[in-house]
Amino acid sequence: MARSQPYQPLLLRILHGVNLIVVLLAMVTAFWVYNIYDGRLIQLPLPNIPDMIGIHGTFGVLFLIVFPALALYSFHPGQKRLIQGDTINKLTAVGKPIWWYSLYRIINTVMLLAGTWALMTGRQMKEEWLPDGNLNETWYQLHLSAWLVLLGCLIIHVLMGLKIGGTPLIMSMFRRQYRPSDSPRLWRQKIQEFIKSRKETRQ
């Protein structure tokens, strides 16, 4: 692998990939639920699967498990790719590379907020609302908005990635090879070192 190619730490690739799969499955089943019970804006000729709410709920719970792991990674080792103290100041350099990088950091952070929004509103949903025809419940409307917010942010996140680093950056998230220094065998040691350094900084 050429040294100049973008490289993503293996742990990030795994957490990010698992989240991507779960988000996509949650969004597809979410649309299906909407299509069966609501369909006020658009309705597609999809078959009526009786337990779609249960299936969506299962992906929702899965997301609840995998998303905090990605967030934890992003807030600690991946911190540099999220919004920084000086990111907003750098937005004055409109059109310059640093401006694009700053926007990219903002959208990465917004992805975490959009995921949190979907989780928060999903947790407030009641399984019976849609089968009972309660389509005007506030939490349902808010949960619906999470679908649009996630889709919009996902599109911007990918387009911004393409703008900043083109296909090599996008593909770097999906590549299988990793550097020896990034081997899973060393993760335990790295986590221990991380916890130790946190304890030392607190003292």
The contact set with ligand HEM (CB under 6 A) reads: 12, 16, 19-20, 23, 26-27, 30-31, 33-34, 53, 56-57, 60-61, 63-64, 74, 78, 81-82, 108, 111-112, 115, 118-119, 122-123, 125, 127, 130, 143-144, 146-147, 150, 154, 157-158, 161, 169-170, 173
Contact 117, 132 (CB under 8 A): no
Minimum CB separation from ligand HEM for residue 56, in Å? Answer: 5
Distance CA 52, CA 158 (A): 28
With CB atoms as reference, the residue minimizing the distance to ligand HEM is 78
Minimum CB separation from ligand HEM for residue 171, in Å? Answer: 8
Nearer Cβ to ligand HEM (96/126): 126
Minimum CB separation from ligand HEM for residue 31, in Å? Answer: 5
Q: SS3 of 56, please?
A: helix
Distance CA 141, CA 131 (A): 15
Nearer Cβ to ligand HEM (147/188): 147
How far from the centroid of its chain's Cα atoms is residue 41's Cα? 26
CB-based burial, 23-56: b 16+ in 10 Å, e otherwise: bebbbebbbbbbbbbeeeeeeeeeeeeeebbebb
